[in-house]
């Protein structure tokens, strides 16, 4: 879909990325920013991938049970269908979207829309996850949030998978993942390797 640039509003459009490991507060931070935008009387829409049904099929829900109504979409290009009159577009679980999300965010920002994307920057293998690395490259603002490693109390930067599933995308919560610092993450991988 072609979106004609809105050069008058262009100075108000930008991309923000909130990233980190699981249980680091990404969605909580996204919801906090949306509440502030609503206080400022801005028209806000939040999107999530249809495949993320852990808490609710349509709402974005944080691990602390804070929630906000959202629109579940199957692909990033579907976002274009909803942007008329919108000031802020938020995207939760951005790592689950297709790679076209980067172009969609670029076009929205050029139209003068503030875009806030939240997602995991690394998968359970410690590799860059989905479109997040490319979003980080083009974002004006980046916030990296951290969980706490339950093993040593250090800042957690990795999502350690507790189950034996090997697919990149496995939906789960504390039953399948825990946050870990770099050292505890590596130690866990060494122990898992020795035990297999």
Instruction: Centre a 10 Å sphere on the Cβ of residue 109 and count the other Cβ atoms it contains.
Output: 21
Q: Phi/psi zone of residue 34: left (φ > 0), alpha (ψ -120 to 50 degrees), beta?
A: alpha
Residues 93, 165, 173, 186: which is the catalytic one?
93
Q: Whose structure tokens read 């050069």?
A: 7
Q: How do strand 59-61 and strand 67-69 relate by DSSP bridges?
A: antiparallel
Instruction: Centre a 10 Å sphere on the Cβ of residue 59 and count the other Cβ atoms it contains.
Output: 15
C-alpha to C-alpha distance for 31 and 17, rounded to whole angstroms: 13
* Burial classification of residue 101, based on how many CB atoms lie within 10 Å of its CB (0-12 exposed, 13-18 middle, 19 or more buried): buried
Do residues 13 and 114 touch, judged by C-beta distance below 8 A? yes
CA nearest neighbour of 76 among 31, 134, 159: 134
Q: Is 93 considered catalytic here? A: yes
Catalytically annotated residues: 93
């Amino acid at each position: 879909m072609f979106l004609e640039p809105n050069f008058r509003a262009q100075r108000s459009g930008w991309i923000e990325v909130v990233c980190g490991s699981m249980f680091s507060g990404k969605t909580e931070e996204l919801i906090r920013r949306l509440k502030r935008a609503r206080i400022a009387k801005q028209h806000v829409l939040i999107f999530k991938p249809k495949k993320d049904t852990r808490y609710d099929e349509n709402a974005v829900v944080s691990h602390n049970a804070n929630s906000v109504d959202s629109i579940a979409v199957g692909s990033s290009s579907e976002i274009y269908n909803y942007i008329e009159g919108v000031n802020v577009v938020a995207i939760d679980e951005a790592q689950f979207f297709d790679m076209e999300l980067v172009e969609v965010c670029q076009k929205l920002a050029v139209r003068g829309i503030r875009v806030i994307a939240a997602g995991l920057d690394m998968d359970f293998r410690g590799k860059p996850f989905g479109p997040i690395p490319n979003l980080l490259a083009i974002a004006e603002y980046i916030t990296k949030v951290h969980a706490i490693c339950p093993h040593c109390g250090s800042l957690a930067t990795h999502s350690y998978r507790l189950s034996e599933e090997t697919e990149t995308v496995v939906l789960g919560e504390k039953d399948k993942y825990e946050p870990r610092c770099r050292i505890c993450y590596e130690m866990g991988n060494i122990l898992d390797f020795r035990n297999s």
